[in-house]
Amino acid sequence: MAVPSPCVDICRMDRKTGWCVACLRTAAEIRGWAKMTDHRRRQILAERKRRNGKLSTPVPPEAIVDV
């Protein structure tokens, strides 16, 4: 079974980190998700936990750009 995408249809990128503020993936990870192996997808999902810790404070609106 394929590892599902963590996308929640918010798609706003934090300018400082380069991560989507909803799914915590980079733009390259988002674009490449469909072609990735399940192993790589699991690595990215595990990385999101660390990234979430770095975004423990709210992202100000001016730091967010739509994709």
Judged by phi (left if over 0) then psi (alpha if -120 to 50, else beta), residue 23 lies in: alpha
Query: Which tokens is 2 given?
Result: 């394929």
H helical segments located in 1-67 = 27-32, 38-54
Phi, psi angles (nearest 5°) of residue 48: -60, -35
Would you write out the chain's pLDDT as a tens digit for each of its 67 residues?
A: 689 999 989 888 888 889 998 899 999 999 999 999 999 999 999 888 788 777 755 555 565 545 4
pTM above 0.85, yes or no: no
Distance CA 49, CA 52 (A): 5
